[in-house]
């Protein structure tokens, strides 16, 4: 990649992070291009689809995902607490930007999504937590981890779109946790 191309690429990503933080994942790409000081064509050259840009932004995000799973797994205490801690982390992780829960959760089941690799990291992190509980025999067995992602993702989506705060989300996570534990 040419030096000026790389510079533009980096600026776009940096600015996009800022704009998406302010306005959510559905923010105008025109705005991103303008703030980054590039023509719209340049943005489209680097990121043909909107989700390619999201993918670039989520680069640093994956580290936090695995860290959060590690932290949850280090939890000493009842299974229910461990699971709820993880769920809360999960919701926080995908709710970083408005529109994030919906986008990430629907990409989860779509192999062609540009952000699929990022979703897989999240799915694997969730898998590790679920497996740990399964080994202890604490979990029902007729449920796939993808379904768990969808359940928690659904709650996060509703919370995101209805502007609910963490205390309002908590009881819903408890219902799901209790439904999964046996």
CB 160 within 8 A of CB 98: yes
Cα–Cα distance, 131 to 139 (Å, whole number): 9
> Where in 35-74 is the site for DNA (CB under 7 A)?
37-42, 44-46, 48-50
Check residue 100 for interaction with its own copies (CB under 8 A): no
Structure token digits, residue 81 = 């607490």
Task: Choose, by CB under 8 A, the member of 109, 124, 131, 166 that binds its own copies.
Answer: 109
Check residue 8 for interaction with DNA (CB under 7 A): yes
- What would you report as the CA-atom Rg of the chain, rounded to the nearest whole angstrom? 18
Part in contact with its own copies (CB under 8 A); list of ranges 46-54, 65-73, 99-107, 128-136: 99-107
Please state, in angstroms and as integers, the Cα–Cα distance from residue 30 to each residue in 43, 65, 112, 167, following that order: 9, 30, 25, 36
* Smaller CB separation from DNA, 15 or 27: 27
- b/e string for 104-118 if b means 16 or more Cβ within 10 A? bbebbeeeebbbbeb
The residues binding DNA (CB under 7 A) are 1-2, 4-5, 8-9, 27-31, 37-42, 44-46, 48-50
Q: Give residues in contact with its own copies (CB under 8 A).
A: 102, 105-106, 108-110, 140, 142-144, 147, 150-151, 153-155, 157-158, 161-162, 164, 171-172, 174-180
């Amino acid at each position: 990649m040419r030096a000026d191309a790389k510079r533009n690429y980096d600026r776009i990503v940096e600015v996009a992070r800022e704009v998406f933080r302010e306005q959510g994942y559905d923010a105008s790409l025109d705005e991103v291009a303008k703030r980054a000081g590039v023509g719209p064509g340049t943005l489209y050259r680097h990121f043909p689809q909107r989700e390619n840009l999201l993918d670039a932004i989520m680069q640093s995000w994956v580290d936090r995902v695995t860290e959060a799973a590690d932290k949850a797994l280090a939890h000493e205490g009842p299974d229910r607490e461990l699971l709820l801690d993880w769920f809360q982390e999960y919701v926080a992780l995908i709710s970083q930007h408005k529109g994030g829960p919906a986008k990430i959760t629907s990409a989860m089941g779509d192999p062609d999504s540009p952000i699929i690799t990022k979703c897989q990291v999240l799915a694997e992190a969730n898998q590790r937590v679920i497996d740990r509980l399964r080994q202890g025999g604490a979990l029902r067995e007729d449920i796939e981890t993808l379904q768990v992602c969808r359940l928690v993702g659904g709650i996060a989506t509703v919370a995101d779109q209805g502007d609910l705060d963490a205390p309002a989300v908590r009881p819903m996570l408890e219902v799901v946790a209790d439904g999964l534990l046996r």
